[in-house]
Amino acid sequence: MVEIELKFQLSERKKKSVLQALKAKTAQKIRLQAKYYDTADRVLAKNHMAIRLRQEGDHWVQTFKASGKSHLERIENEVQLGQCEVEPELNLDLFSENKIVKDLLDQVLADQQHQLTLQFQTDVHRTFRIITIDGTDIEVCLDDGVVSTTEQSEKICEVEFELKQGSPEQLILFTQDWVNKYQLWLDVRSKAERGNLLSVKQKASPAVKAKTLILHKEDSTDVAIRKMVANALQQLLPNAAVIADGVANPEHIHQARIAIRRIRSIFKSFQSWSDDIDPSWENQLKQIFQALGTTRDLDVVSDEIFPELLKAEAPFSTLPESVAIDNQIHLLFQKSETVCLLLQLLAFSYHEQSNHQKSSKLKKESKALLSQLHQKIIHDADHFSQLEIEERHRTRKRCKRLRYCIEFISSLYDPKAVKKYLNRLQAVQEKLGLYNDLHVAEHVFRESAHKQAEFWFAVGWSKAKQEQLLLESEQELKKFAYTKVFW
């Protein structure tokens, strides 16, 4: 069975309002006490799976869960154990009748199936009711409780919207009113993930990177662009959740920026493939990208440029005051406007898709777009060192955009030819990326040098490095100009 749900975090101050919206006096209530099991090395968690025994009121349920094809879906198999005089023990044989679950467990656990032990527990008071809208039944739940290990615990206060019957798109759109009214923020992390992190004493899972997208030549352009957005959201949503929770490291921010740039590249390059793209999305994504960019730029100066300056015997040992951590970046993904944008993009990716177009259309359309971007970069290669600073940055952005577009449609072409082309493009990107980082560093240190003269050393050092990289970038671009296209 595939479970379709969306989950949001809720501040304590809004809990009473949500209870009133659920009409707490007439809503159903139940206490859910769950025990989660895994191997000592957390093999289930590493494969985005979970097994639990849960007491629901006076009944027991054994459940297997695994990630689905998107963050909206989860594979779920529940085995009802009924009322038990004594607490039941975990029994994986109960999943044997579900071939999908059995195969997953055999594949992941292998000979460790008898080595599962209790890792953490949850104790939640759930208030819930079914709300019907336009033929779609949605169960809205408020979960209030704790997740705990033998050593520590963490509060749970979240709202879940589970589709019981009807359209996933309707489910997504329905949640927007709740987001605006109660300042909910989207969190794709499960209770199992949060419990596992608690048990290994970590604040956040590793940053999620882009995954390979498989398109088929039979796909219409409409289907293809929705698959692209869904793929980019697979990268964005988990990183956004960690940022919103205030536990992100620089890599989470970096990967969130990459995901947003990938979505912007989709809309800039493939926008003619669908009539359902809202023009306002681009401006909203741009604003989020720029806000994250400031934090990312300062991280680069702190983590990459500053150590090199110290090696060069810079006359200072601390960074300028302007290179400070933004302690409010988490609010960006808690904002209702941002959350609603993410929901709209998710709804777009889930909209009923049409494959009525000819199978040859997709590859033909892709070829035209790639050729156009490729030629713009080649044009810049002829006189790159003579371009203005902003024009050089434009070239760098075009290279990134071309790479992302290729990654989205690469499954339509010969993988060896694609890899060869991307390797040459990557060489250009690396030089242009370093050049951009040094330009950012120059700007940061120049702002402070007027007050602290020692920072002029960093300005001069950055300028000198830029001159060398400018020549190297032009050389790589000229090599790229002779690269054979794969389309």
Per-residue pLDDT tens for 4-55? 999 999 999 999 999 999 997 899 999 999 999 999 999 999 999 999 999 9
Q: Quick check: 327 pLDDT over 90?
A: no
Domain boundaries, the chain: 2-202, 239-480
Whether 239-480 and 2-202 are alike in CATH topology: the answer is no
pLDDT of res. 411:
96
Cβ atoms of 431 and 469 closer than 8 Å: yes
Q: What is the three-class DSSP state of 274?
A: coil
> Which is more confidently placed, 352 or 19?
19
Of all residues in the chain, the percent with pLDDT exceeding 90 is 85
Residue 260 pLDDT: 98
pLDDT level of residue 73 (50, 70, 90 thresholds) = confident
Structure tokens at 241: 């959740």
User: Does the structure show a pLDDT above 50 at 296?
Assistant: yes
- Does 226 or 358 have the greater pLDDT score? 226
392 exposure class (CB count in 10 Å sphere: 0-12, 13-18, 19+):
buried
- The DSSP bridge partners found for residue 75 are 2, 66
pLDDT at 217 over 90: no
Whether pLDDT at 343 is above 50: yes
User: Alpha-carbon distance 337 to 342, whole Å?
Assistant: 9
Provide the token pair at 370.
Answer: 């790639």
So what's the pLDDT on residue 351? Answer: 82
Q: Which amino acid is at 296?
A: R
State residue 370's pLDDT score.
95
CA torsion 305-309-315-319 (nearest 10°) is 20
At CA 45, angle to CA 44 and CA 50, rounded to 5? 65
pLDDT at 62 (0 to 100):
97
User: In whole angstroms, what separates CA 326 from the centre of its chain?
Assistant: 20
User: E strands, 312-389, where?
Assistant: none
Tokens of 234: 């697979």
Q: How far is Cα 139 from Cα 145, in angstroms, rounded to an integer?
A: 19
| Half-sphere exposure at residue 459, Cβ-oriented, CA atoms within 13 angstroms | 14
CA torsion 381-465-301-388 (nearest 10°) is: -40
- Residue 136 pLDDT > 50: yes
pLDDT at 116: 95
Percent of the chain with pLDDT over 70: 98
pLDDT tens-digit map of 144-201: 999 999 999 999 999 999 999 998 989 998 999 999 999 999 999 999 999 999 999 9
- Which whole number is the average pLDDT over 311-327? 87
What is the model's pLDDT at position 323?
81
Q: How confident is the model at residue 355 (pLDDT cuts 50, 70, 90)?
A: low
Q: Are 64 and 50 in contact (CB under 8 A)?
A: yes
In the CATH hierarchy, which top-level class contains the domain 239-480? mainly alpha
Q: Collapse the DSSP code of 200 into the 3-class scheme (helix H, G, I; strand E, B; otherwise coil) and give the result.
A: coil
Distance CA 51, CA 65 (A): 6
Token output for 189: 């992390």
Rounded CA gap, 144 and 199, in Å?
20
How far apart are the C-alpha atoms of 414 and 426, rounded to whole Å? 18
Three-class HEC string of 72-91: CEEEEEEEEEECCCCCCCCC
pLDDT value for 310: 95
For the chain, give the number of residues. Answer: 487
Residue 359 reports pLDDT greater than 70 = no
Please say if the pLDDT value at position 326 is more than 80.
no
Token code pair at residue 453 = 């003269």
What pLDDT shows up at residue 438? 95
How sure is the predictor about 354, in pLDDT bands with cuts at 50, 70 and 90?
low
- Rounded Cα distance between 405 and 425, Å, is 12
pLDDT at 358: 45
String of b and e for 25-38 (b: at least 16 CB within 10 Å)? eebeeeebebbbbb
> Which residue shows structure tokens 């159903």?
28
Q: What fold is seen in the domain 2-202?
A: Hypothetical Protein Pfu-838710-001 (2.40.320)
pLDDT at 356 over 70: no
